[in-house]
Structure 1
Amino acid sequence: MTVWVVTGTGTEIGKTVTTAALAAVAVRAGRSVAVLKPAQTGVAPGEPGDVAEVLRLAGERVTGVELARYPEPLAPGTAAARAGLPPVRPAEIAETAVKLAASHDLVLVEGAGGLLVHLDDEGSTLADVARLAGAPVLVVARAGLGTLNAVQLTAEALRARGLTQTGLVIGSWPREPDLAERCNVADLPKVAGAPLLGAVPEASGRLRPEEFRAAAGQWLAPGLGGAWDGAAFARAWDAAGAR
């Protein structure tokens, strides 16, 4: 059984596109994949959410599961309370992930926002899900100014809970990175205490699905099933004048 938890250091950083890339690479390698979204917020009934976006990009050979949906774009616990709906609990999420792992080679659990966003009024978080499922955590981060603090805080929260951080992926790497973004290529793994395992180019989610699936392996390191060369990436941006 293989379950990975995919979290971000915040919202709108490329977590769903990164999840789709992970799924696409695994499917291309012949693995069966399931993507579990515990709580989808800010999407009305019948509208496509993050699971639909992953299936669009990675292909419908991926199994998609959404446990709860709340209409307002808020933290899941708050959104559930305001909608008068039951929250989704860590035990339910972990149990679903383990059941999916019994029939799939890889299960990706995509969180909402950051690691410690509350799922319910008791303060349960995605970290609790990772603990119950015995799953490592992959962190998706921004490229630019301000990301180092968020990445270090997330890494410290994981270590404090005895959780394993698989590594770090930049969720949206710009075509023309500025000085902070270039410097962060070297600094991100230092503050995370974990390797940089990929960089997804900005606007990758706008690619045609067949283009996305063909390219995804070039964005992720071998540890994630791809062919991205982290050392070459770092050298390229160092040569561009980051130091």
Structure 2
Amino acid sequence: MGVLVVSGTGTEIGKTVVTSAVAALAVAAGRSVAVLKPAQTGVAPDEAGDAAEVVRLAGPGVTARELARYPEPLAPDTAARRSGLATVAPQDIADTAAGLAAAHDLVLVEGAGGLLVRFDEAGHTLADAARLLGAPVLVVAPAGLGTLNSTALTAEALRARELEPLGVVVGSWPAAPDLAARCNLADLPAVSGMPLLGAVPDGAGALAPAEFRAAAGAWLGPVLGGSWSGEEFLRRWPA
């Protein structure tokens, strides 16, 4: 993969931490990595955004790029309209990602919230940028009740647009998962048609960067450069 798009089934579900783990494993494998955050919302001009967080956790060798930043924590199109700032078009995202790909082995494009969150006045979304790039999409989902529906809808939206769903990663696996979370491990692949590619523990983003990088391989499967096994995880957390 030269470019991988990382989307979520919603917001605040661990998407940046998953992106950081993928980046950390790629760096550990000797690959050059860039992370692109097309639209950063809810962050002041002098605050670190999601791309900077990926660099902090994955390593200073990661190239970080933002295309737009809006102060209010809203969908990019809404945040841009309210702030009077320019929106981001899918072609801008695709062109920037392609430029980064020319100089890096892996480019991670991290969306804002879910797949169909609007980026501009015309209603373009992260899916439109992924189509222009011809890039696979990694879906980050929460562990608990309600995730089956949102993950299945995301997978359906990807296939309707003829985009490749690489798989799904649980973005914040709880230390004491309830019954719904344990059942979802087996049900997520069945309802979404996507393989389960990992589970990142809750609170992983609070680890010291060195600890984070050392542990990341145990959270993600071989497709993403790690050693995580879905079968072993299911045996550890039976329903």
TM-score interval for Structure 1 and Structure 2 normalised by the shorter chain: over 0.9
Confirm or deny that 1:166 pairs with 2:166. Answer: yes
CA distances 1:19-38 after superposition (whole Å, capped 9, x unpaired): 00000000000000000000
Moved over 2 A (4+): none
Q: Pairwise CA RMSD of aligned residues?
A: 0.7
Tell me the residue number matched to 1:230. Answer: 230
Give the Cα separation in 2 of the matches to 1:208 and 1:88: 33
Tell me the residue number matched to 1:177. Answer: 177
Q: CA deviation at 1:234?
A: 1.2
Q: CA deviation at 1:236?
A: 1.7
Tell me the residue number matched to 2:97. Answer: 97
Q: What amino acid maps onto 2:32 in structure 1?
A: S
Gaps of 5+ in 1: none
Tell me the residue number matched to 1:194. Answer: 194
Q: What amino acid maps onto 1:142 in structure 2?
A: P
Tell me the residue number matched to 1:21. Answer: 21
Gaps of 5+ in 2: none
Q: What amino acid maps onto 1:148 in structure 2?
A: L
Q: What amino acid maps onto 1:83 in structure 2?
A: S
Residues 227-236 or 172-181, more deviating: 227-236
Tell me the residue number matched to 2:140. Answer: 140
Give the Cα separation in 1 of the matches to 2:31 and 2:53: 20
Pairs within 5 Å for 1:32-71: 32-71=32-71
Give the Cα separation in 2 of the matches to 1:55 and 1:211: 14
Q: What amino acid maps onto 1:144 in structure 2?
A: G
Give the Cα separation in 2 of the matches to 1:90 and 1:60: 28
Q: CA deviation at 1:52?
A: 1.1
Q: What is the TM-score when the length of structure 2 is the normalising length?
A: 0.99
Give the Cα separation in 2 of the matches to 1:237 and 1:219: 14
Give the Cα separation in 1 of the matches to 2:221 and 2:167: 10
What secondary structure is seen at the aligned counterpart in 2 of 1:220?
coil
Q: What amino acid maps onto 1:203 in structure 2?
A: G
Q: CA deviation at 1:46?
A: 1.1
CA distances 1:156-213 after superposition (whole Å, capped 9, x unpaired): 0000000000000000000000000000000011111010000000000000000000
What secondary structure is seen at the aligned counterpart in 2 of 1:186?
helix
Identity %: 72
What secondary structure is seen at the aligned counterpart in 1 of 2:237?
helix
Q: What amino acid maps onto 2:216 in structure 1?
A: A
Give the Cα separation in 2 of the matches to 1:47 and 1:17: 18
Give the Cα separation in 2 of the matches to 1:233 and 1:90: 37
State the aligned residue count: 239
Give the Cα separation in 2 of the matches to 1:192 and 1:102: 33
Q: What amino acid maps onto 1:24 in structure 2?
A: A
CA distances 1:73-120 after superposition (whole Å, capped 9, x unpaired): 000001001111110110000010011011100000000000000001
Give the Cα separation in 1 of the matches to 2:73 and 2:223: 33
Give the Cα separation in 2 of the matches to 1:7 and 1:191: 18
